[in-house]
Amino acid sequence: MSGVVTVVGNPRPASRTRHVAVEAARTLAERIGREGPDQVIDLSGLAAQLYSPEPAGELDAALKTTAEAEVLVVASPTYKGTYTGLLKSFLDLLPGGALRGTVALPILVMGDPKHALAVEVHLRPLLVELGAHVPTPGLAVVESQLPALREVLDGWRPPIPRPEASP
């Protein structure tokens, strides 16, 4: 298992979604006594490989890291009322049950609060279908909340099990 892993499904590099995802992963890692996130998989850099007939090793490594995560933060901007096609294309490459044993936390960043249910209605079921344990409602972050992101994350307290101490 590879600790706290973040997958960012925004097609734009250095996006607000990435910022929210990394801060959320850092907050969660601190709460379970870890530094983190251990790895950030920004799909904006893998888009060409996702749609290539011959995926490169970088994509394979990202899929392996995702499947081996103990805690997986999955974040996307809200496009057309749901997560991005880029994120769906990436997750579709994982075999069924690939996230069994992984605690997954879905996050959607959106311009309008009317899309807040999308994280529960669309992204959460996808992660559950892949076998992940999703212990809490997903986090819907409205862009107007970004200046107060720290307060939003302080109020978000998903029940993440602490890793067991080694004997």
pLDDT score recorded for residue 23: 95
C-alpha distances (whole Å) from 46 to each of 21, 92, 142, 152, 158 are 17, 14, 26, 29, 29
Q: Where are the domains of the chain?
A: 4-145
pLDDT score recorded for residue 2: 73
The 10s digit of each residue's pLDDT in 35-70 is 777 899 999 999 989 988 876 789 999 999 999 999
**For the whole model, what pTM was predicted?**
0.91
Strand arrangement, sheet containing 103-110: 39-42, 4-8, 71-77, 103-110, 139-142
Residue range 4-145, CATH number = 3.40.50.360
C-alpha distances (whole Å) from 87 to each of 27, 31, 93, 149 are 22, 26, 10, 23
Alpha carbon 13 to chain centroid, angstroms: 15
